[in-house]
Structure 1
Amino acid sequence: MTFSKLVKHPVFCQLAIAISYILAIKFSVSFASLPGELTPLWLPAVVGLIAILELGNTALIGIILGTSIENYFALNELSLDLSFSAILILTLAIVFNEAVNVFICATWLRRRHKSLSSIFQTVKSISEFLGISLISSSISALLPVFFFYVYGIIPINNLLVSWLVWFLGASLAQLIFVPPILFWRSPKGQQRKTAIWEIIVFVGLATLVSYFVFYKNYDLEYLFLPLLVGSVFRLEQPLPQVLVGILSLVGIFATVNGYGSFVGETPHPTLSLLLLESFIAVYAVTILIISAILSERKAITQTLHSTLDFLEERVFDRTSKLLQTQLVLDTFIDTAPLAMAILDKDLNLIKVNNFLADLQQRQESNDDIPEYIINPKLHQEIVSKCQLILDSKQENINEEMYVPDTNSGSTWLMSYFPIIDEQGRVFRVGFIGLDISDRKRLELILQKQAQLDGLTQIANRRKFDEVLEREWLRCQRDQTPLSLLIFDIDHFKIYNDTYGHVQGDECLIRIAQVLKKQIGRTTDLAARYGGEEFIILLSNTDLDGACYISKRTLKAIRELKIPHQNSPVIPFVTSSCGVATCIPNKHLDMAYLIDRADKALYQAKSQGRNQAFTIESEENRESA
């Protein structure tokens, strides 16, 4: 396996995420922890969010693995008398905090934004990012803080402060470090150029102010705001965000180690760190919002210039294009093989294409269109539909229309549509007619073919299912008997093996024609049920009538005298028949009738074949 394939392997990716998470945790603990205090791990929140945004939810495996390993050993090293179960629960709580935080935040951002770099392009998207980061961090921090309190690591009077430190650190890390990373990975971010001397100037000023604020303890932290705002106007993204990140790292490092003006503001070091984080958060959000405002303004300006250029170009060629469009439209209407017309508000024809005029054998020009250029028999119906469009009762109407004529008539697909003026009002209505007579005839042919068995040319199983459902409902309504006869050619496999499949097919065709001749009513049906099985469905027929038809049919099959020398019954083709009759009601279904007939057929075959059988009583059997 090559190195490039190894790097892209899922296992390698998860291990890389886990190792990155462990290193981020170690770096955060060594860099941002206060002596004797449990402080939040904020850089892992950045690693996790970026990993899920780039790789998807599968990155959670590496996050959970890295968090579990590092925190389990870190808790073991604490000078606390914790049981194994306590360490395990605390580890799971921290894993929950890390995983849920980045999962909620990443899932929201991916659903709201197709491009990750677009998250920080508008004030609205920045507000969404800030809100979801704060919400996800605050929710996920509840569980670990609670368990740390349960096991006595955090006293009750420090619960609120601990929760604030925990969730604010994670959300602040995402706020400071996620924007520059995503900006840098975007194609536009990689193409931006900034003068080196400007970067040197802003870095120098930031270093100077940091020296006085965090080393000399001067209260000059307000100078960071104009410095950062100026970087937004002069430096291209993500450089202002990088500058915010550097100043944040410097400030936190100094505050943790007891330097800077923030240390003297509060008596407790944790509160000093909270004050610094709040200060950094305000500046970071301010810079992001100003950057988004500038980005929106730039986008609006570019859009405005593009729109003005486009409109300017359109002014010069609009007239010629309109004329060309009108010419193309007129040509299309006049040459289209469709019936097309336009009516005004008074339902007078003002435009008729050549196809419609030729169809009606009227050659008048469009300036003198007779009222009944449309078939007089259909004029009123077409006008009524057009009136509905004009009254705005319907936006569009599509329907089929039958047009009677001296032959068999024709079917048209009619479409009526409104024509809107500049004020958005309907002032005309048009219609298009397409002759679909051939398609309708083809549909009827295909429908008929779909209901016939391809070999025997009698009804197939699909047709049988349709007729059975129809007759079942009719007999249920009228409370009349419905009978079903299932025929199975005796030893047909032996016949095929003896005479071949060609003769077998011919045998099926001849027997199918025999069955077809046994029925005479339109409600009855003979169909091929499958293979060598056939059925006869007899509506409004009692058991005696069904037995009579079965006996007559079996006799007609025998009278064909189709040779079957290897048949164990007689040396001619014979059939067995199962007969079932019932009066349909709401307590029965159609499967009941089929099942009874099938069981009767089984009895007929079991008792020697070449006979009909009904399962009601032995006396109902009709032998050959």
Structure 2
Amino acid sequence: MAESKKQLENKILQLEKENQRLLQLNDEMKQIQTSYEQILGENNTRQLRSDIACMQLEQIFSAYSDPMWVLREDGRIIRVNDAMLAMLDKTDDEVLGKTCSSFLSHNLCQDATCPLKSRSTAKTTEVKLCLSGQVAEDSCYLLTTAPLIMIDGSPGIVAQFKDITSRKQVQEALEKMVHIDGLTQIANRRCFDDTLAKEWLRLKRSGQPVSLLLCDIDYFKKFNDHYGHQAGDDCLRDVAAALAGSVLRPADLAARYGGEEFVLLLPEVALEGAMKVAERVLEAVSALQIPHRNSEVGSTVSISIGAATLIPIDKYQPETLISLADGALYRAKEQGRNRFCLAPS
């Protein structure tokens, strides 16, 4: 009986130890479960946050007012927003998977300024370009690109097109105002000076001649005094148009030099060619048949011309050409006006 009691006590002791181990194991399992739930919860939270961020980025990309697309390194388009589709007048299916060069009819895709060729992880690239083909030829955009790392780790580019057409048109209008004479609507003195300086350097390199015709309306002050300033302005406009119509090449420039003086710049034209232009000018002004009762050389408005030709070399300056033409103009006036004289070669 005593032995049975001892055995029973041992069994109870073993059961208590086993129960302690089970309780300890249960605690460990609870800790593992708690840790797992925490990890799972954190992962779910991160995933949820990531999903929300992706949704927000997608909404921003789609709703952005400027055209945008995302390109792979080979130039293939993988994302495009509604504004870009509207600009291209295309659908998703017509754009996705195509290369950007399919839609950018511009030398940007052929030279070193291409954003794909100058891709960097440290900067963005901004270039001005005019699109043609699928996009209106007069549309001008500021293209901003930035590097992008895809989900798979491959490099790409996100590009934004900012329409600056209106800004460019305003800029061109301002530039025109700077270089156009307000009264006669031909080039002004500033435009002439700038053009002569550029052509002088170009022709100095090529060794080609440049000719200049300096023109002065005969007895214009007497015309103004007799007919009035409004008639004088009309006369200046008509003569300016006649001079502009006397030059036939795009490179030639007709400009108002000041007051009733005009100038014709003829790059790559030798003396013989300058003489032909001078003859056309005399005929064109005569054909206007503008009455001039106080002229001392005829009954209509006439013009005197001084012509000079030089090959730009080191010992000459643009002012040399102007001075020669001015001297020839003075001689034309001395010889009776309504004619042209040539500067000595």
User: Is the TM value for this pair above 0.5?
Assistant: yes
Alignment match, 1:557? 285
* 1:110-189 mapped onto 2 (5 Å cutoff): none
* 2:309–2:321 CA contact under 8 A, matched in 1: yes
Match of 1:376 among 102, 106, 112: 102
- Residues 543 and 351 of structure 1: CA distance in aligned 2, closer, same or farther (over 3 Å): closer
- Compute the displacement of 1:494 (Å): 2.1
* 1:30-429 mapped onto 2 (5 Å cutoff): 331-342=59-70, 351-360=79-88, 361-363=90-92, 370-372=96-98, 376-378=102-104, 381=109, 385-386=115-116, 388-389=118-119, 392=121, 394-406=122-134, 408-409=136-137, 410-418=139-147, 429=157
* 1:559-574 mapped onto 2 (5 Å cutoff): 559-574=287-302
* 2:255–2:264 CA contact under 8 A, matched in 1: yes
CA distance in 2 between counterparts of 1:570 and 1:477 reads 45
TM-score with structure 1 setting the length: 0.40
* 1:471–1:523 CA contact under 8 A, matched in 2: no
Q: Secondary structure at the match of 1:371?
A: coil
* 1:347–1:387 CA contact under 8 A, matched in 2: no
- Compute the displacement of 1:612 (Å): 2.6
- Compute the displacement of 1:590 (Å): 0.8
Larger relative strand fraction? 2
Larger relative helix fraction? 1
CA distance in 2 between counterparts of 1:467 and 1:414 reads 31
- Compute the displacement of 1:532 (Å): 0.8
- Compute the displacement of 1:466 (Å): 3.8
- Compute the displacement of 1:488 (Å): 1.0
- Residues 566 and 325 of structure 1: CA distance in aligned 2, closer, same or farther (over 3 Å): farther
Alignment match, 1:226? none
Alignment match, 2:322? 594
CA distance in 2 between counterparts of 1:580 and 1:498 reads 33
- Residues 551 and 349 of structure 1: CA distance in aligned 2, closer, same or farther (over 3 Å): closer
CA offsets, 1:562-609, max 9 Å, x none? Answer: 222223443322222222222221221111101111122233334543
Q: Percentage identity across aligned positions?
A: 36
TM-score with structure 2 setting the length: 0.67
Q: Secondary structure at the match of 1:512?
A: helix
- Residues 520 and 341 of structure 1: CA distance in aligned 2, closer, same or farther (over 3 Å): closer
CA distance in 2 between counterparts of 1:433 and 1:439 reads 14
* 1:526–1:534 CA contact under 8 A, matched in 2: yes
CA offsets, 1:424-478, max 9 Å, x none? Answer: x997642211233454455555545544333223232233234323443444344
CA distance in 2 between counterparts of 1:348 and 1:456 reads 52
CA distance in 1 between counterparts of 2:258 and 2:321 reads 17
CA distance in 2 between counterparts of 1:363 and 1:477 reads 52
How many equivalent residue pairs? 287
CA distance in 2 between counterparts of 1:376 and 1:333 reads 22
CA offsets, 1:361-416, max 9 Å, x none? Answer: 3257xxxx93238563449959x735754x63x52111134433256534432111
Alignment match, 1:614? 342
- Residues 493 and 408 of structure 1: CA distance in aligned 2, closer, same or farther (over 3 Å): same
Q: Which has the larger radius of gyration?
A: 1
Match of 1:432 among 160, 168, 172: 160
CA distance in 2 between counterparts of 1:349 and 1:549 reads 56
Q: Which amino acid aligns with 2:305?
A: C
Alignment match, 1:460? 188
Q: Which amino acid aligns with 2:145?
A: Y
CA distance in 1 between counterparts of 2:342 and 2:198 reads 24
- Compute the displacement of 1:486 (Å): 0.6
CA distance in 2 between counterparts of 1:323 and 1:408 reads 38
Alignment match, 1:527? 255
Match of 2:220 among 492, 502, 524: 492
Q: Which consecutive residues of structure 1, in runs of 5 or more, have no partner in the other structure?
A: 1-320, 618-624
Q: Secondary structure at the match of 1:567?
A: coil
Q: Secondary structure at the match of 1:483?
A: strand
CA distance in 2 between counterparts of 1:471 and 1:442 reads 27
Q: Which amino acid aligns with 1:522?
A: P
Higher relative CO (Cα under 8 Å, sequence separation at least 6) belongs to 2
- Compute the displacement of 1:559 (Å): 4.0
CA distance in 2 between counterparts of 1:552 and 1:344 reads 61
